Every structure is written in C-alpha cells, then in structure tokens.
Structure 1
C-alpha cells in the first residue's frame, strides 16, 4: 500500500489539502495552497503508537511530518477529519494499513521528542500543584528563552490576551489597551498598592506604575522573567514604584494591597486549589479592595474533567487545567468576593494569537537559532491550534472583577466606566 492510499483511507479522498510522502505517492487536492509531507517512516511509528493528535504532534515536532503553507489554514482544513478531533483509526483498519506498507514501520517504538514532558518526570517532583512541581511546570514553559519570547510577543513582552479597540489595532496598541482596561476596572489611582500575581515579564506592573502612579509588586515563578522585568523596570526609570520578584504568590504577605490583578495565572492553579487561591487573594486585600481575574476558560461548566495527558499538557502547559467561567465565578464569590463585572474576550484572544503567529513566522530563522527547531515547531503548532480553539469556541477568555467589601460598601461607581479611549 502506498502512503497516499493510507492518507485517503484516514481522512477521505476529497481532503482539501495536498499530501506527499517519501515513497513518492501523492493525494488530496493538488491545487491546494497548503499540504502535509511525510518525510520518513518514523512518522508512521509515531502515528501507530498514538493514533490521533498526539502521534501527529510527535511526528511534526520531530521533523518527520511537515506542513507546507500556513499552519492555521492546514489545521482549519483538517478540523472535520477523523484525526483532528481525536477519533482513532479502528484496529482492523490499522492492521490492513500495516500489512499494506510493512509491519516494521509500525512495531518499532520510538521515544517521544525531547520537548515532551513525561508524567513520570513531573511525578518525581511531587503532587500536582505542590510548590516544587508548579515551579518546574512554569520553568518548562516560561524559561524557554527571553530572546525567543521577544521574537514572538513583540515589544510589549506580554503573554496574555490583548484587547483590541478596533480590528485594525496593532498588537502593541491592543496590549496597552488591555492593561488600561484592567487598570480602569481596578480603579487604580496614585498612591495605591497593586499586587500582580503571575506577573510574567512585568507588563502590568510597569503600566500601573508609569500610567497611574501606583506602587506595584509583581511575583512570578520564572526566574528568567523576573530578571528580565527588573532590567526593564530599571531602564524605564520605574524602580521607585515597580518591582518584580521571583517568588510564589502564596508566600506574599496578607492584608497589604489595595488592588490585585491576576492575568493568566488561574490556568496553572488546578481545580482543587482554586478555592484556596481565591481565599489567599482575598486575604491579601484591604477592605474595599478589588481583584481582577483574567483567565482562559472552558465554554461550559458541565464538561468532562479536563484531559490531563493531552498534547497541551505534554508539550506546552504541564499540569495546566481549565474550568468554566461560572464555576470560577462561584469559587471567587464563595471566597468572599462580591462579583461586580465579567466579560468574555474570546475573539480578542484569537486576534492576539494571530499576531503572535505572524511574529513567529516572520522571525522563524532567528527563533530556530535561539531554541532549536523542535521547540520552535511546538510553538508554531500550539499557537495556530489555539487560534482555531478560540475561534471555534473550544476555549474562552474571561475577566471577572470582584470586590472585598468594606462592611457593605463596595466603593464602586454606580455604572461601569471602564472602557479606555482608543490610543
């Protein structure tokens, strides 16, 4: 059996992409602008070991499977095929395919690419979301290389959803708009103290200090992020107001802050720890203080438990977990916060990811030199897949604003006045 025949059996003869294999066979639409290329037998080993998204990811990251053209376009074209939604090839079909192209290509087991995080490695560090294991999970994802993140994220070095005042806004304009939206929801004013948990490279901390005269502390489990942020703070002359520390948010003293922002940390907390997370943030606020929680969410609260061994957990966010917005809001409320506002920014994250994808494609050679082709491939696939996820409502992005009441006083305006003017 030629590999093109295998491709047609799996995805159908009318697949809207080109297919080419190392055995010289071709299939699909020859006029398509994008396609799949099987470069060697090892791709078949990965697919035989793990039929579906995991096998395809391993083959692509290892360089045995290639994508020609725009990665997002290929994923979108494949979205309705059997492999794209996790459906596996039946055992009988797998036997017929194996007999047709040779058993040896299927039975030789290959180790996963080195970019894959194995469960045994994480288990060695302790239970899920213990401090040591959380530190390793953050190190895996965020300590890739500051130079690499500069190539992908752009000048703002902001790795959270931007907010686009118009569809034509640049990435930098949209990230500024996001920080200003968060600042207005929090009601930041000169002289306040802000805690930004999971602060990344310090974007929110520096915005609060520069634009609002707030004394801001950011904390992150990534040592590389903290070092980069402190250098940028010094360069901008914000050292009197802004600081980023390499530490766990759980170790920050309680009861000291007027406002707290959490932009992209909740995804790393774990469902069982979310109640304690919100309780801890509540304890760190003064009466009348506000929390803005910004997190990727699932579109519903009644979906099956989050898949812990999927591609994202293995290659991108070890131990990451997503919950529904209503579930998160309830836990936030139960921790003592009065919920004052929430919104879904799903479409904004799709736009953000498109800009990151364009940055990576434009800087591809430099990215490969910085982190190696395998890691760059992980990011290319991950970002394009996330664009599709947000567009198709597989995932969402919610901002939830809560207040720690001062008695019964929420210290909130009668009507929201959050939205900043476009800049």
Structure 2
C-alpha cells in the first residue's frame, strides 16, 4: 500500500526533467520523459500517513535520518518540488499569528545561533557574516562579498561622524565594528544569542574599540524602555525571526528609538505573497520564524510615519552566497560530523542547498528597504554615492 500511494503521488507530478525513484524493494521507476537527472532512493519505508499530511516535513526528516538518499543534486529535487508546489505547500496562511514571550523568542534564536561559534566559523567567512553577501562580480570571494554587503548597508545609511548607530540583531558584530572604523560613529548592537554576544565582545576588545562600540545581550524591545535614541538603525537578517504578530511591536519600537529624520535599513528575506512557514524549516531550522511578503512590509511603514526611500532586491546574491556556504560546509563535513553527528550534517546540507534553489527558482527573495522617520530633505538626490 505504501509503495502504491507513493507511485500515485509521483505519477501526478509535472516534472521539468525526468527523475527516478528507487524503492526499498529494489524496484525503480522513471517519471517524466528523457534521461533522469536525479534519483531519489527510499532505503526503507516511510510513514505514508505522515507523507500525505506533511510532505516536506516527512521527506526532510527521512533524508536527515538516512531513510531517503539522493543521487544527484539536492537542488534538482527542490526544483521538482517548486514546479509542483501546489501539491506540497498550502497557498495561504492557515494560522492566526500569536505573540510569543521574550523567553520563547530567546529559545528560538538560541536553537539556531547558539549551536556554537566553532561550527559557524568552519564555513562562514572571516567576518562571520550570516546573511546575504553582495557580489560586484561573480569572481568575488565570499569574504570580499560580505565586506561589500556591509559597506553597501552603511553607505545607504549615509552615516556621518559622531552619529549614533544601532544594529538590531547584530550577529557577530562586524557591521558595528566597521561602521565605527570607517565612519567614526558610535555604534551599538543587540543580540539575544549568547554565542554572538561573546564573540562580538572579544572583537571589540581585540580592535581597541571600547568606548566607541558596544553590544548588549538583550531583546531590542528593552532598548525603548531604557530611553535610548539613535540617528540611524540597521537590521540585517533579523526581521525573519520577529514573527508576524510582532511586526507592529517591531515598527513601534524602531519609531521610538529613532530620532526625527533618522534612517532605517531593513535587510530581510521576503516572499512574493503571504505563505506559512515550511514545516520542516519550522521544526528543524528556524522555530518561531516567519518570512514576510514584500507588500506586508511596505504596508506597515505609513502607520509609523516611515517614508520609503529605496528598495533593492538581492535575490541572486543570496543564491550565490548559499552556494559558497554549501561548498565550504562540504569541505568541513568530517569536522562537523565529529562535533555533532551524521544526522546534523544531513540536516544542514539539505537546508543550505535547498535554500539556494529556492532563491534561484522558487520565489524567495531578499530586499533591502531604506526608509526615514518623517520627511527628510537632506539626503543624496541619486544613488551615485553608493557606487563611487
């Protein structure tokens, strides 16, 4: 019965390229026309009830556990899924977003970011930037592209010496460090990841930037209650963790923290429309996260007197960033397996390589939004200053 149900499912797909399924009983079938470009191997039976209810969750967990193997590129499997997305993912939000406690938000962040600095340092670049890089040329190294991303963000904020810069979700700290070094601003970062906080503190001390740069282990909402105020605010790769129900809180907090005519650079992954979080990602990678649609963000801004100045898509930049990460990760697989286990390795391999496919072909995007608090007539008239 299990094999019959799977055969019926695969027969119903509309593949762009032929694919092969090899079943646990040794039989195999080719679906689609031509030579298959990828083979999915079922080493053992999987829960058909689970598969029919949550296809991506059951498939992803089965791959992690070794019940399913892939011969060929994971990206080709994801491309097959993307071309049949109506059979795999619901089209609209099927839940009411709920507010979560600070404790739960910290737990969700620590699930992903407190795996360990040693782990991330194996495959991130020297800046430890864990967000989309900016490639001026396909030949750029990952490190060069990450520095270019940070510089691109800082240029957009049009920083001036002596200004106060806040980075919400400051990661391992390179943006606040570079802002202080390059622009002479006083920069401050907040994170609720203990590992990121510890590493940033080390970097501040090693560069002798105490007094000009600081970081706090706290939630961004605590800043407003303490009466802090900033001229410019950046948030790179953090908004995806805020949660849909918390969007008004985020925008209200940023409004309270930002001085009049101040600028905000919000760098976040986006969807084309509002869709629920993939259940495998929710369970294994980013619990509590939600990827907004482009229009959700734009529609929020007027309610907080935020004036949109610029929007830029970096979709292909993120696909290329993920390609670099996936390649570097594979070069360190033996060390990662020694640190954790094979299941962990397979989880991260699936996450990194499938993410690249979604940015390249699946409708995931990443945008940088630049907006001001109130009307600001003192900004650059063109984008020329970004590329000078």
The TM-score, its normalising length taken from structure 1, stands at 0.80
**2:75 maps to 1:72:** yes
What is the CA distance between 1:31 and its match in structure 2?
6.7
**2:39 maps to 1:35:** yes
What is the CA distance between 1:189 and its match in structure 2?
2.5
1:73 partner SS: helix
What is the CA distance between 1:386 and its match in structure 2?
1.6
What is the CA distance between 1:316 and its match in structure 2?
1.3
Bigger Rg, which one:
1
Instruction: Spell out, residue by residue over 1:186-229, the C-alpha distance to the aligned partner (whole angstroms, 9 max, x if none).
Output: 01232221110011111211221222222211111111111122
Q: Say if 1:82 and 1:318 are closer, same or farther in 2 by CA, change over 3 A.
A: closer
Decide which of 331, 339, 343 is 1:370's aligned counterpart: 339
**2:284 maps to 1:315:** yes
**2:383 maps to 1:416:** yes
Structure 1 alignment gaps of length 5 or more: 88-126
1:295 partner SS: strand
Structure 2 residue aligned with 1:324: 293
Q: Say if 1:351 and 1:404 are closer, same or farther in 2 by CA, change over 3 A.
A: same
| Contact map agreement 2:54 2:279 (CA 8 A) in 1 | no
1:2 & 1:56 partners in 2: Cα distance?
Answer: 14
Q: How does 1:142-221 map to 2 (within 5 A)?
A: 142-221=113-192
Q: Say if 1:82 and 1:268 are closer, same or farther in 2 by CA, change over 3 A.
A: closer
Q: Say if 1:373 and 1:7 are closer, same or farther in 2 by CA, change over 3 A.
A: same
Structure 2 residue aligned with 1:55: 58
| Contact map agreement 1:53 1:83 (CA 8 A) in 2 | no
How many residues matched? 374
2:365 & 2:227 partners in 1: Cα distance?
Answer: 31
RMSD: 2.7
Q: Say if 1:32 and 1:225 are closer, same or farther in 2 by CA, change over 3 A.
A: same
Q: How does 1:94-105 map to 2 (within 5 A)?
A: none
Structure 2 alignment gaps of length 5 or more: 91-97
Structure 2 residue aligned with 1:384: 353
Instruction: Spell out, residue by residue over 1:152-187, the C-alpha distance to the aligned partner (whole angstroms, 9 max, x if none).
Output: 322221111111112222211111111111111101
Q: Say if 1:230 and 1:167 are closer, same or farther in 2 by CA, change over 3 A.
A: same
What is the CA distance between 1:49 and its match in structure 2?
6.8
| Contact map agreement 1:216 1:243 (CA 8 A) in 2 | yes
1:312 partner SS: helix
| Contact map agreement 1:46 1:59 (CA 8 A) in 2 | no
Decide which of 286, 294, 318 is 1:349's aligned counterpart: 318
2:81 & 2:373 partners in 1: Cα distance?
Answer: 47
Instruction: Spell out, residue by residue over 1:128-175, the C-alpha distance to the aligned partner (whole angstroms, 9 max, x if none).
Output: 432111111101111122222122322221111111112222211111
Instruction: Spell out, residue by residue over 1:82-119, the C-alpha distance to the aligned partner (whole angstroms, 9 max, x if none).
Output: 897349xxxxxxxxxxxxxxxxxxxxxxxxxxxxxxxx
